[in-house]
Structure 1
Amino acid sequence: MTNRCLLAALLLLPSALSVAAEDVKAVVARKISADYPSLEAIYRDLHAHPELSFMETRTAALLAQELRTAGYEVTEQVGNTGVVAVLRNGPGPTVMIRGDMDALPMTEKTGLPYAATGTTKTLTGTDSPAMHACAHDMHVTGLIGTARMLMALKDRWSGTLVLIGQPAEEIGAGAVAMLRDGLYTRFPHPDYVLALHVGDAEAGTVRYVSGPTYANVDSLDITVRGVGGHGARPHSTRDPVVLASQIVLALQTIVSRELVPGTPAVVTVGAINGGTKHNIIPDEVKLQLTLRSYDDAVADQLVGSIRRICEHLARAAGVPEDRLPVVAAFGSRTPVTVNDPVLTQRLTAVFREWLPPERVLAGEAATYGEDFSHYSRTPRKVPACIFWIGGSDPAVITAARASGQLLPSNHSPHFAPLPEPTIKTGVTTLTAAALDLLAKK
């Protein structure tokens, strides 16, 4: 080849690569549009039939069937009701994508034609209302759409894809259950772990956070014990109602007076229960707390301070040593979720290539809990990233702002993602991320 021909070929190469890149985006856009009626039908079905934590049998069966139909090797009942689908497609890294499946025990008030009605069973066998108020139905739908897309684009990537339907995220137990059941030993061990979460931002937008993204979550039960008696003779008692009230107020000083100023932390007393009658001083009062932080040492400090305050306030109130408060953890800690900075930067650049750049925005860390954190806290420290997809109707956002009312958000009985832009953005971003991480060398 002459130097002139070689130069011409080199000049044409970026253009050819650009056309190829544009072509795959066009292919994805056309397939998403073609698949959308089916995906919306799946979403509506999932939304109308919510299931609670570790009871997601119908949801898991639907997901497993869809993934088998798409051509994946599927295993069910991993970590109780979890689903694992594997697609081996030549040499390369392994990418795992999670979609969580469970709903919340609450009554839906959206008024949608496909709203959940009636009751469903809890893990203990009781009847409870249920609603997909945290968009896990959207997550499952996005996982199915992405599975179809990446199967159709097998010639565009190389490596192994692992898709999981995770149970029990709402109680922080599903990820651990799947890992204990051999998620990283029975199936290909991931080199990257991805997930999305739908929230109350404008539908079709993407938000990302690098580093700590979701908080440590500790739940504590405190039994404030005293010596009960007649309400007319308080001097003959050690009143646990008064002591519990003092404890609630004293706990508010932990963040303001015991942590370095600016340290993110939350101590919330969510429930206080005690007593039976106007004129009876009870023997005990129960408190329920949630604690949030972004650092394990801070989380430990919060718990230690709460124990100290409860114990010494009780002593100051004259409570006998054998009646001091009992502080007990409710379940295990949901650890802080940390988005790998290098992976997050890489995916952010990908999203800005696939979407209008103004729709890919930096977000803020939230003090929600998310058991996605467990997938990257294993011995091999797998790089992980979870990002947010907006789901709210822009018209609803505008109306809320104009009226000064709050926008329905996750865990609200009125939360209702706008299906089309949310589903399409979810499938597009997960597909784009996987294609980049599994790009042929």
Structure 2
Amino acid sequence: MTATADAPTQTRQFRLPDLGEGLTESEIVSWRVGVGDTVQLNQVIGEVETAKAVVELPSPFTGRVTALLAEPGQVVAVGAPIAEFEVAAGASAKREPNLVGYGAMPEAAGRPARKARSWATAAPAAMHAATEPAAVNAATEPAAVHATTVPAAEPATAPPAERPRSTPPVRKLAKDLGVDLAVVHGSGPKGLVTRDDVLAEVGTPPSPEAGDRETRIPVQGVRKQTAAAMVASAFTAPHASEFLTVDVTPTMELLAKLKASKAFADVRLTPMTLAAKAVLVALRRHPSLNARWDEKAQEIVQYHYVNLGFAAATPRGLLVPNVKDAEVLGLRELAAAIAGVVDAAREGRIAPSDLTGGTITITNIGVFGVDAGTPILNPGEAAILAMGQVRRMPWEYRGDIALREVLTLSLSFDHRIVDGEQASRFLADVGAILGDPGMVMTMV
């Protein structure tokens, strides 16, 4: 209930919630309200972007917005105040809700200590490739609301000073050079501290103006997380790769029949769908590829379920959403699930939980007209399969040369977990199914 003109009021601050996954800062994407607007409890008031996804922020109060303390494009530390509300004075604790799923947050607005995390739950990796399809709610692991109360009759306490505006690379440079950003004058837009500002503080000549000949793009959010995950994966897991070229004409014919059938009339079926089903069948015979390496325990952890990931190129960078317990889904359900998570990732509404916990990944580089490649493992997984372009080309068929639909499969695997024989047999099984879908009858 909002305060009336005659009722006493108080000011409440909304601090940036801890969105989980060890994240310590987020970028304000947009505000859906303005100063003076009246909002209800849990009404969406804005969006923030983390290294995982774009997340909606619900209002922790019913009242009137009196200040928005961060601008779109600004990177804000977890715990820093981002908005103020005027609410009825004397509200009981029951009217100051903890948003469901939100974790604890520091009272101070300073940067919290980073949580320990493993690369098994880091942001996705894999080749820069798109896949087919996806629809998952932007549910996240939000955060408890910490509010400071200021009686309306007294002057509002000034919010804690925020750190100077800068990008993560610039903050790292300043730390390496021993520069206190608080004393640096920012020459960038709206006082943003730039790389040249930091270099000038230590007497290093700024970089020459490049004019229109080059553009510097700050690496942050998903792209920053992906880059870090790729480096970690490439230098911690001994990658090995194998390739298999297959005549998939029977699979393409089956795909056409399924699309024409009433049973699949409202389902998005693609070559990726059938390849995913082939992978799930092959994993039953070769479970060693559905595993991870536990570095601390020096053990192989083999999964008894399959959270099948799909590398998706999105406007925010590479994401790898995964379909949970994919091994129990029928073809129709699998197709819908793939379409759901990939579409959600591309539209920026994927839940962080759908970007973690994957056990094996498929990436479709064929959509770019590419035949083969050596994909990098998604951290914490033992294998990744890349699908190339399905090409119509001359092929040996029944003792003669004919035009056939041909596909190259590329498999990368962690050689600590998977031996060459295991990987080869798995890849051969996937190829056998795609070359003749009826082979599934001999494998289940």
TM-score (norm 1): 0.23
Higher RCO (C-alpha 8 Å, min separation 6): 1
Q: TM-score, normalised by structure 2?
A: 0.23
Q: Which has the higher helix share?
A: 1
